[in-house]
Structure 1
Amino acid sequence: MDTTDSVPNRADTVIVGAGIVGCNLAYQLTELGRDDVVVVDQGPMPTTGGSSTHAPGIMFQTAEPKELSQFANYSRKLYSELEGADGQQAYNEVGGIEVARSEERMAFLQRRVEHAKAWGIEDPQLLSPSEVTDHLPLVDESQILGGYYSPTDGQVSGVVACDALAREAMDRGAEFVPHTRTEDIEIEGDSVERVVTEDGAIECEEVVVATNIWARQLGEKIDVHLPVTPVEHQYTMTESLSEMEESAVDITDHPLFENYENVSGEKAKRLLVGPDRPILRDQDNAMYYRTHGDSYGIGSYNHESIVPDPEELGGNDPDGEQGSVHEFTDVHMDTATHPDRPHKAPRQASDELLPATEGAELEHKYNGMFSESPNGLPIMGPVQSCEGLWTAAAIWVTHAGGAMKAMAEWMENGVPQLDDGPIDLSQCNVNRFDEHEGSWDFARDIGAEEYRIVYNIMHPKWVWTDNQRDIRRTPMYHTHEEYGAELWAEAGWEEPQWFESNADLVEEYGDRIPDRDGWEGVYWSPIEGAEALHVREKVGLHDMTSFNKMEVIGQDAGEFLQYLCTNDIDLDVGGIRYTLLCNEGGGVRADVTVTRTDEDRYLLLTTGREVGNNHVAWVREQSPEGVVVNDVTSSMAAMVCTGPDSRKVLSKVLDADLSDDAFPFYTSQECFAENVPVRAMRLSYAGELGWELYTPSEYGERLWEIVLEAGEEYDIRPYGNGALDALRIEKGFRLWGEDLHTEHNPYESGLGWAVDLDTEFIGKEAVAAAAEGDNVAHEVACLTLDDEDAAILDDRPVFAPGSDEALGYVHSAEYGYATGACVAYTYLPPEYADPGTDLEVLFEGDRYAATVREEPLV
């Protein structure tokens, strides 16, 4: 690799870290035309000594998060096009098999097939035990119930890929500087100015922190608290196995071998050898396997979490010590230490599945490291507090190609994209985090939990139960506890999902609440349905304090908001408007209600649940000098009183005329409830008559009590998020991040009515084209299942009847209790989105007949 000997004085873009992430980003940026890119790394290149050096490089593409599957699918295609230093294709497409040792895992593998079909992974298959051993003859067939097979899975050497990517990036003008430790990033005002290395400073416009396990250390130097957690897992390679002697390979003549050996020692003779049969995963025992010539590599997550302190992580020194590798801890291979798998040691599980390894010496053993984030997804994008600072951390070899393609497009063109179109990265955005997530206590505990569950069967509604709970309480928290709230954590908030105090409603409404006894019924209560029906017929009170709230203040605030919003924001004081915020490509960046609270003051209300902070960061990023954007989420308690009797309840306590003439829909007024100051807004996410009530946080608990007391004669009930989701979906209200996001424009989303093309706003050109029918590849469709007793969950594929080619996938689904059917929202090719169209949804192995309906259903 023809690297640079000295540190240049300046560059447009500096990438810190030349592992698989940094090399992928340099490749993508230079492919987009940038030629002033500098990549610096503390180690040699391409074997930097980071995680990319020791990673076995297995690539299973199918994951429950769509982003990870899309990233992996792109990475596979990219690595398949790369030529390694030996002239061979960098990617080994040997296929991947995940086996099941339990009925629960077999059901999980069926979900694997469904997610693969939803995300476009090629030819996913379920295999019988004998079909597994047809591909992997060393597996003991008696130990398994079956397997999931993805023929295009495989393996790529991080070192081979880094070398190939870097060579092409350098051919297009990038510079790579090895053996150079980054010591600091200097910021002047709110902007990046230079990267300080041990060998000199580089003036720059942008810097990307792509240092993986070291990302937190570098961030702390500039007061950016990245919740990146280094964790250890075990990898070892057996001695040569007689059963595999025909696969023995001498790799010492590989052009990269000497470089690799200098960093990794003897194990380079194994690590550099690609597999010759499918990669294997035994998730019931948190183990994975791949071949290295005539040796089997054994990877184990099957041990207690080991989280090193980032401040104590070493670097990669000239003597060959790798900061990303710790000494192998035999106890974690020979003893059952994983808290969820206490009955079988990893070595025993391995020898059972692959009897050929029993008694074999483990020749090369080490504890390698990778990074975890609080939701197990990458941490990437522009840091809102510092112009020009980008992050790219907690990204595996499997996903790095796609993730950095998306980020390069983001950096260059403002919209994350892959080859087939935009990709929504709200769940990966570095700005999604709340302040508490920057603490090391939080990052350590949640990173350890993410490690613990990485191969567990996790329900999509599962939430943390023990670690790092009870962090953020709404003012109504203690009242919720009194009413027996089932509290779930979202963005640190303790939020009611349902209330046990409403259990009596189940008897009243039970004949309209179908039972759920399968996967769809886990973490569900019939109380959710009873609460939803009670709101439809009487009145309920919901705590919405955690919804994101922003104040936009300044003489030019109105002009600024008009530039952000697709709708006309020329409002009288007290007026409210629903609108969208779009990105440069016309994708829906957020949906908000804008309330003009004074001449130069506006209140923006939105939700993204755990990613709502992305909206705040983006509005701040766009704001001009003289306009102040304040996040007032925590300083304002919020609740909504909804249902046919809501006017009767609130008329008892608010000193305002709540009639239609005096208080029209989409207007707000300041008033009092007894002695509590309230901003009341006539709107409701539940889709019933109702008012949202806002007050400073210290008044929140009292306001809640006042409304509940006033509503006793009308049988007012508190209700949770489960009921709200059911209410909003049958009303056709979108939930940002699920059935509304940046991958679709307003017209595809069925929200063209929230666009005023006579105004100027970000993304208008693309939105206007969509209004003319261009860029409308999909249209939103509201489905109901034909079986009125059935319920499904999100992220499952949608088909035309009898077809196996997925048309789309379920973005969100909830049972509509007033509708009397499960409601699902999806995006389909326009010819399939017409009301009355028959479709099918694959869920838990069964195909459910569904019909496209006119919306709203209620």
Structure 2
Amino acid sequence: MSSTSEAHGHTPEAPHPTADGHRPAPEDRHRPADAHRHTPEAPHPAADGHRPATLESRPRTPPAQDRRPAEHRPRGPRVVVIGAGIVGCSLADELTARGWSDVTVLEQGPLPAPGGSTSHAPGLVFRTSPSRALAQFAAYTIEKFLSLRVAGVRCFDQVGGLELATTPERLAELHRRAGHAAAWGIRGEVVSAARCKELWPLLDESVVLGGFHTPDDGLARALLAARAQLDRATGRGARFLDRHTVTGIERAGGRVTAVVTDRGTFPADHVVSAAGFWGPVIGRMAGVDVPLQPLAHQYVRTGPLRELGGATAEASKPILRFQDRDLYFREHTDRIGIGSYAHRPLPVDPFAVPPYDEARARDMEMPSSYPFTVEDWAPSWEDCRWLLPALRETEIESGFNGVFSFTPDGLPVLGETRQLRGFWLAEAVWVTHSAGVAKAVAEWMVDGRPSIDVHECDLTRFEEAQRSPSYVRERGSQQFAEVYDVLHPLQPMERPRPLRVSPFYVRQQQLGAFFLEGSGWERPHWYEANAPLVDALGELPERDAWSARYWSPIAAAEARATRERVALYDMTPLRRLEVTGPGALAFLDRMTSNNLRKKPGAVTYTLLLDEAGGIRSDLTVARLAADRFQVGANSPADLDRLLRHAPADVQVRDITSGTCCVGVWGPLARALVQPLTGDDFSHEGFGYFRAKRTWLAHVPVTAMRLSYVGELGWELYTSADLGLRLWDTLWEAGQDLGVLAAGRSAFNSLRLEKGYRAWGTDMTDEHTPFEAGVGFAVRMDKEGFTGQEALRDRPAPTRRLTPLLLDDPASVVLGKEPVLVGGAPAGYVTSASYGYTLGRCVAYAWLPAGLATGTGVHIEYFGEKVAATVADEPLFDPEMTRIRR
């Protein structure tokens, strides 16, 4: 949540970015079922086979309904799901709805309340989130649960949601959240304190400044929803076996083959761990790290309240969030349930959680329900009574510390592992997102890809340095503490830092670098040493308090120096892969969209596409020798995908940590590097998108003539041990040229002026190259590549990644704001930054394809409508004269 991973932008002349999701290979998705099966216990009664409508998703043909008798239908691969909580039940329902009926769900506790997090979940479902994926998961969860009933009882009460502000800072945040809601298509509005009082009469209106009301949110009956989906899945052939404790995962040839329990072994082609806070335990059996930290969270119920006397419905008022004090509230007929994140983090060792019967023997209601710690509750009780004076007339009737899961970034962990093929994770999923996650994972397993972008939840997203038990515990605990905090999109984690540093770190500190963090790397955003240059800029527009956070006018000075002189950029966090072997060229050419069959020394911007033509990543591929390539990639997911598909005669390895990179850019870049080498760095001798192995003074480097900022220059790579010498060599040689170090704040401004895309921010596998404006990197006439056939069949785009210029030179937006066309939400901003060369803020947004240049739109920023205009791209140097000189 608070940690921010930044991407690099590209286009014809620039590539690289952040993270993506992997998909199982097609040949793994349809293995024949084995007739040998464990004898099932009596299944639960079946319900109807209704399948709810889907969310907004990629265009695709829905699975056709198979009307043959059940005994004559193909059953699909053998799937074993571990865990019958809300995620496991939802997944069984989604898989069987798609025709995979050979599904066994194993549960160590008793059904229908097995004792995990689902069994005690308060059921709050709020859809609004900065994460588009989480918002889509929650929207589908509500849509599906509204269609479910058990014995006539609804599985979802659509009472709405209300988030309160008691401080000006929180009220501003609610306006920002309203923007997220509009961007993701969620109904919601910021309302007055008086309206909050109408919605929740128990409130002390005098302490409330306003609220954010979302009428379509509400309360899920988690156990009931699990039961409804269990019944539907059972009716389609699935079976649910409780009191089966998993003791091992069998494998052969790198694939999962069976799940071993204390009551038998279950052969499997696919195994899904949906074990909740037991996920790390199951992962260890499979030889897979599950970066998940269980924590205990306090929940109480009050005694009866006179003001709620006579209530017959379980709840009639919106679910209430008092985020300024880390509290939430919901009704239980004439009582109030209250949850608190205000207490100290209470981490739980997943390997020490007792099984169901042992927990009961310890006087625990269930394994996920730990004894209530009164001392942690006391401050929150005072805050509750301050907000809801009626609580002064009652006391706490019951309370417990309920265990649930957090990851280092607060997002779920989804996908198939490469270490053990056929072993899937669906972990760290809350009730709020449960059905949406299950739908995405089922699509992933059956169709090979989810219908929405889930890269930020992909299990491959964490770096090796982010997977240690200490890191997971520390970051998971911090995510608990920050659940309701107002977090800036650039706000870095506070610890553990520093974790990963480039060889230039000591020099960056000496220059007064202001560091932010991404993927564990310390990344300079500007340098205080450049502060004297600000005076020469003239007057910059004053920023609002939000956009001024993690920003400095020094960034404008660094951007100008890059345009006018020369600057050094630390590009070390760029992921670098080495691909070698006799089959390397054929492999990379098949995996990517552009033509890589060029002579050694060529560099090519290309795309990793999925089978449906979606952009999984963008890459810069340098052919350094006949059978050796250096690939500039975005995330661990890129490495994972290449390793999954690499043939025996190809080796793929990550060389990032053993190397480093300095970007040298600006009109004086050639004047800086040419005297340091005997090789020809002229335009004729070292053309654009070319690579050369050379020496700069004493340092061997691989030089690539690329530009991420729209200026002449090179990326200079060397080994990590020589990195500091490289920096010092360039720094000393550039003193007479006015060289300076520049940070990522200036970098982001310059790359947006050139329209360079950032994968994971501007484009994902939800988008095709032609929608995203990177169709130039697709060679439809080359021999088959992944995604080629899907692109042939695509209709003309109905949406495009569109450049916008804000009309007012003083206006700034940051990203994820809704864009209004004709007064109605029509899309959302992906990336934005002030363009210091242009004197306007530049924003890129997904908008309808037909918008002509010059069309006026509005971007909603903290409730204000900011005027902007559709522009032509690139906005800066469209003739490319500054790069090609």
Verify same fold: TM over 0.5: yes
SS of the equivalent of 1:521 reads: coil
SS of the equivalent of 1:634 reads: helix
Q: Quick one: which amino acid aligns to residue 366 of structure 1? A: F
SS of the equivalent of 2:484 reads: coil
Please tell me whether residue 516 in structure 1 is matched to residue 543 in structure 2: yes
Match of 1:552 among 569, 573, 579: 579
Alpha-carbon spacing, 1:592–1:11, altered in 2? closer, same or farther (3 Å)? closer
In structure 1, C-alpha distance between the alignment counterparts of 2:42 and 2:419, rounded to whole Å = 31
Larger mean Cα displacement after TM superposition, 571-580 or 185-194:
185-194
In structure 1, C-alpha distance between the alignment counterparts of 2:512 and 2:141, rounded to whole Å = 47
Please tell me whether residue 825 in structure 1 is matched to residue 851 in structure 2: no
Give the conservation status (yes or no) of the 8 Å contact 2:798–2:850. Answer: no
Q: Quick one: which amino acid aligns to residue 333 of structure 1? A: W
Indicate the residue corresponding to 2:504 in structure 1: 476
Give the conservation status (yes or no) of the 8 Å contact 1:305–1:451. Answer: yes
Please tell me whether residue 185 in structure 1 is matched to residue 249 in structure 2: yes
In structure 1, C-alpha distance between the alignment counterparts of 2:468 and 2:356, rounded to whole Å = 26
**Per-residue Cα deviation, 1:199-228 (whole angstroms, up to 9, x for no partner):** 122221111111111111222333322210
In structure 1, C-alpha distance between the alignment counterparts of 2:512 and 2:331, rounded to whole Å = 53
Indicate the residue corresponding to 1:604 in structure 2: 631
Please tell me whether residue 346 in structure 1 is matched to residue 386 in structure 2: no
Q: How does 1:165-176 map to 2 (within 5 A)?
A: 165-176=229-240
In structure 1, C-alpha distance between the alignment counterparts of 2:752 and 2:400, rounded to whole Å = 50
Deviation at 1:86, TM superposition (A): 2.1
Give the conservation status (yes or no) of the 8 Å contact 1:498–1:527. Answer: yes
Give the conservation status (yes or no) of the 8 Å contact 1:515–1:526. Answer: no
Deviation at 1:163, TM superposition (A): 0.1
Alpha-carbon spacing, 1:219–1:319, altered in 2? closer, same or farther (3 Å)? closer
Give the conservation status (yes or no) of the 8 Å contact 2:305–2:393. Answer: no
Match of 2:567 among 532, 540, 564: 540
Match of 1:765 among 764, 784, 789: 789
Alpha-carbon spacing, 1:326–1:643, altered in 2? closer, same or farther (3 Å)? same
Q: How does 1:9-20 map to 2 (within 5 A)?
A: 12-20=78-86
Please tell me whether residue 308 in structure 1 is matched to residue 335 in structure 2: no
Please tell me whether residue 436 in structure 1 is matched to residue 465 in structure 2: yes
Deviation at 1:135, TM superposition (A): 1.6
**TM-score, reference length from structure 1:** 0.92
SS of the equivalent of 2:828 reads: strand
Match of 2:806 among 785, 802, 805: 785
Deviation at 1:455, TM superposition (A): 0.5
SS of the equivalent of 2:761 reads: coil
Indicate the residue corresponding to 1:415 in structure 2: 449
Please tell me whether residue 583 in structure 1 is matched to residue 610 in structure 2: yes
Deviation at 1:777, TM superposition (A): 2.5
Q: Quick one: which amino acid aligns to residue 653 of structure 2? A: N
In structure 1, C-alpha distance between the alignment counterparts of 2:417 and 2:393, rounded to whole Å = 51
Q: Quick one: which amino acid aligns to residue 448 of structure 1? A: S
Match of 2:862 among 821, 844, 856: 844
Indicate the residue corresponding to 2:193 in structure 1: 129
Match of 2:330 among 290, 313, 316: 290
In structure 2, C-alpha distance between the alignment counterparts of 1:319 and 1:795, rounded to whole Å = 45
In structure 2, C-alpha distance between the alignment counterparts of 1:654 and 1:210, rounded to whole Å = 57
In structure 2, C-alpha distance between the alignment counterparts of 1:193 and 1:658, rounded to whole Å = 56
**Per-residue Cα deviation, 1:50-71 (whole angstroms, up to 9, x for no partner):** 0000011011111111111111
Indicate the residue corresponding to 1:268 in structure 2: none
Give the conservation status (yes or no) of the 8 Å contact 1:210–1:392. Answer: yes
Indicate the residue corresponding to 1:756 in structure 2: 779
SS of the equivalent of 1:377 reads: coil
Please tell me whether residue 853 in structure 1 is matched to residue 880 in structure 2: no
RCO comparison, higher one (Cα < 8 Å, 6+): 2
Deviation at 1:186, TM superposition (A): 2.4
Indicate the residue corresponding to 1:708 in structure 2: 731
Deviation at 1:318, TM superposition (A): 6.9
SS of the equivalent of 1:660 reads: coil
Please tell me whether residue 462 in structure 1 is matched to residue 491 in structure 2: yes
SS of the equivalent of 1:563 reads: helix
SS of the equivalent of 1:597 reads: strand
**Structure 1 gaps, min length 5:** 250-273, 335-344, 418-422
Deviation at 1:625, TM superposition (A): 2.4
Match of 1:529 among 556, 561, 573: 556
Alpha-carbon spacing, 1:660–1:795, altered in 2? closer, same or farther (3 Å)? same
Please tell me whether residue 378 in structure 1 is matched to residue 412 in structure 2: yes
**Per-residue Cα deviation, 1:770-829 (whole angstroms, up to 9, x for no partner):** 3xx44x23111100000012111100000114x1x2110000101111111100001111
Deviation at 1:359, TM superposition (A): 4.1
Match of 2:202 among 113, 138, 141: 138
Give the conservation status (yes or no) of the 8 Å contact 2:286–2:420. Answer: no
In structure 2, C-alpha distance between the alignment counterparts of 1:653 and 1:198, rounded to whole Å = 69
Please tell me whether residue 796 in structure 1 is matched to residue 817 in structure 2: yes
In structure 2, C-alpha distance between the alignment counterparts of 1:401 and 1:531, rounded to whole Å = 47
Deviation at 1:11, TM superposition (A): 6.5
In structure 2, C-alpha distance between the alignment counterparts of 1:233 and 1:791, rounded to whole Å = 38
Q: Quick one: which amino acid aligns to residue 5 of structure 1? A: E
Deviation at 1:6, TM superposition (A): 8.8
In structure 2, C-alpha distance between the alignment counterparts of 1:639 and 1:208, rounded to whole Å = 43
**Per-residue Cα deviation, 1:652-708 (whole angstroms, up to 9, x for no partner):** 213310111111101101001122111000111112101011111111111111111
In structure 1, C-alpha distance between the alignment counterparts of 2:116 and 2:40, rounded to whole Å = 20
In structure 1, C-alpha distance between the alignment counterparts of 2:197 and 2:530, rounded to whole Å = 53
Indicate the residue corresponding to 2:114 in structure 1: 48
Larger mean Cα displacement after TM superposition, 394-403 or 761-770:
761-770
Q: How does 1:230-245 map to 2 (within 5 A)?
A: 230-245=294-309
Give the conservation status (yes or no) of the 8 Å contact 1:328–1:366. Answer: yes
**Per-residue Cα deviation, 1:136-177 (whole angstroms, up to 9, x for no partner):** 111221221111100001001110010001111111111111
Give the conservation status (yes or no) of the 8 Å contact 1:510–1:530. Answer: no
**Per-residue Cα deviation, 1:570-627 (whole angstroms, up to 9, x for no partner):** 11011111111111221111111111111111111023xxxx1112112212222221
Match of 1:102 among 136, 161, 167: 167
Give the conservation status (yes or no) of the 8 Å contact 2:620–2:633. Answer: yes
SS of the equivalent of 2:547 reads: helix
Indicate the residue corresponding to 1:5 in structure 2: 41
Deviation at 1:125, TM superposition (A): 1.4
In structure 1, C-alpha distance between the alignment counterparts of 2:530 and 2:94, rounded to whole Å = 55
Q: Quick one: which amino acid aligns to residue 618 of structure 2? A: D
Give the conservation status (yes or no) of the 8 Å contact 1:11–1:202. Answer: no
Deviation at 1:384, TM superposition (A): 2.5
Deviation at 1:82, TM superposition (A): 1.1
Give the conservation status (yes or no) of the 8 Å contact 2:248–2:261. Answer: yes
In structure 2, C-alpha distance between the alignment counterparts of 1:599 and 1:768, rounded to whole Å = 31
In structure 2, C-alpha distance between the alignment counterparts of 1:496 and 1:153, rounded to whole Å = 40
Match of 1:743 among 751, 755, 766: 766
Indicate the residue corresponding to 1:37 in structure 2: 103
Task: Let me know the Cα RMSD of the aligned residues.
Answer: 1.6
Give the conservation status (yes or no) of the 8 Å contact 1:24–1:401. Answer: yes
**Per-residue Cα deviation, 1:393-445 (whole angstroms, up to 9, x for no partner):** 1111001111111111111112211xxxxx22111100011112221111111
SS of the equivalent of 2:357 reads: coil
Please tell me whether residue 489 in structure 1 is matched to residue 510 in structure 2: no
SS of the equivalent of 2:829 reads: strand
**Per-residue Cα deviation, 1:357-384 (whole angstroms, up to 9, x for no partner):** 2241322210001111111111111123
**Structure 2 gaps, min length 5:** 1-38, 44-75, 877-885
Alpha-carbon spacing, 1:197–1:655, altered in 2? closer, same or farther (3 Å)? farther
**TM-score, reference length from structure 2:** 0.89
Deviation at 1:319, TM superposition (A): 7.0
Please tell me whether residue 360 in structure 1 is matched to residue 379 in structure 2: no
